[in-house]
Amino acid sequence: TGLKEAYRDRFLIGAAINTSIASGKHPDITEIIQRDFSSVTPENSMKWGSVRAADGGWKWEEADHFMNFAAQHNLHAVGHTLAWHGQTPDSVFKNAKGDYIKPAELTKKMEEHITTIVGRYKGKLHAWDAVNEAVGDDNQMRKSHYFNILGEQFIDKAFHLAHEVDPKAHLMYNDYNIERGGKREACAELLKRLKKRGVPVQGIGIQAHVAVDGPSISDIEKSIVAYADLGLRVHFTELDVDVLPQVWNLPVAEISTRFEYKPERDPFKSGLTKEANDKLSSRYEELFKLFIKHKDKIDRVTLWGVSDDASWLNDFPIRGRTAYPLLFDRKRQPKDAYRRVLAL
């Protein structure tokens, strides 16, 4: 038996799946998912840029594949995401002259977008990352197009719309770096304001793109407790562990300009060293020990991918780097980290 069975009485174990996995093109990965995972999230296929055509029309093929895959394998399905500045074309927010559209116009677009997609999958998607990454790297509200046009109210709007259409769906606020001090406090303050205004937010999605050397377990634990104290269910939504030392405490823009990929500088181009692999395994073990300790507060732990070959980190922060952040290797074999997590 696999992780699914081992964690049955603790929390759901999820994986983000890309479009080719969702359309059943990788029988070996399908087999892993059947054995090890109880939940799935679409890595890209429900984002605005994936479901909408340039003229605003709808493209359902990839999202439908994801839903069919989830249904076929009896998986808890999480939608990702309804309002996010990423992978959303500028034309959503700006007119032909390049000026921002009026608040009422953006509100109308959000209404159409959210009610359509939430309505289409009502009763089949169990949860939504309703709003994604609204707090910036400076711990202030991110000056995204959504925010610049509608202010913080864009968040309220997204949650209310989704809740009206599918009152049973569990709605989460999802963000990165919020498992560490600084952004944690900013995010907790935002959630307090949302709750005070009666916004139907039920869960916090801690993405948890972490590294082998941080953030510390005590920092992550503080975050679990802080969000649970606000009355929120805790979800780890995008877990992966970078074998390179922490870079996330730099602003993202700086990361991508500072690191230029040179194969000869990639320390793990031809495989992980034993030392690095051991570090990865111990890190996964300590993380899952912490999650188990707080299983009463945690609903789900989702990994951002199944096997290393398909991880987004292969392109981040340096395009083309070789990354090893997941539980299955490039040949889709379980890693030592997998066995350690399974044995807990």
Known catalytic residues are: 238
User: In the complex with ligand G3I, which residue's Cβ is closer, 268 or 312?
Assistant: 312
- Provide the 10 A C-beta neighbour count for residue 20: 13
User: In the complex with ligand G3I, which residue's Cβ is closer, 238 or 329?
Assistant: 238
CB of 80 to ligand G3I, least distance (A): 6
CB 157 within 8 A of CB 165: no
* Three-state secondary-structure class, residue 94: strand
CB of 343 to ligand G3I, least distance (A): 28
Distance (Å, whole) CA 2 – CA 90: 43
Site for ligand G3I in 87-106 (CB under 6 A): 87
20 near ligand G3I, judged by CB under 6 A: no
User: In the complex with ligand G3I, which residue's Cβ is closer, 307 or 340?
Assistant: 307
Structure tokens at 291: 């999650």
Q: Which of 36, 137, 179, 238 binds ligand G3I (CB under 6 A)?
A: 238
Residues in binding contact with ligand G3I, number by CB under 6 A: 9
Q: Detail the DSSP E strand segments found in the chain.
A: 12-17, 39-42, 76-83, 127-132, 170-175, 203-206, 209-211, 233-242, 298-303
Helical (H) or strand (E) element with 6: helix 3-6
Site for ligand G3I in 35-94 (CB under 6 A): 43-44, 86-87
| Residue of closest CB approach to ligand G3I | 312
User: In the complex with ligand G3I, which residue's Cβ is closer, 44 or 282?
Assistant: 44
Place of tokens 């977008």: 113
CB of 1 to ligand G3I, least distance (A): 29
User: In the complex with ligand G3I, which residue's Cβ is closer, 30 or 132?
Assistant: 132
- Provide the 10 A C-beta neighbour count for residue 108: 12
User: In the complex with ligand G3I, which residue's Cβ is closer, 272 or 323?
Assistant: 323
Q: Which of 188, 197, 194, 128 is closest to 163 using CA atoms?
A: 128
Q: Which of 312, 334, 336, 342 binds ligand G3I (CB under 6 A)?
A: 312
Buried b (16+ CB within 10 A) or exposed e, 121-144: beeebbbbbbbbbbbbbeeeeeeb
CB of 176 to ligand G3I, least distance (A): 6
* Three-state secondary-structure class, residue 172: strand
CB 155 within 8 A of CB 199: yes
Q: Which of 206, 128, 110, 109 is closest to 167 using CA atoms?
A: 128
Site for ligand G3I in 144-203 (CB under 6 A): 176
Structure tokens at 244: 């390179």
CB of 86 to ligand G3I, least distance (A): 5
Site for ligand G3I in 212-231 (CB under 6 A): none
CB 164 within 8 A of CB 134: no
CB of 103 to ligand G3I, least distance (A): 25
User: In the complex with ligand G3I, which residue's Cβ is closer, 259 or 312?
Assistant: 312
277 near ligand G3I, judged by CB under 6 A: no
207 near ligand G3I, judged by CB under 6 A: yes
Place of tokens 């927010």: 93
Residues near ligand G3I (CB under 6 A) are: 43-44, 86-87, 132, 176, 207, 238, 312
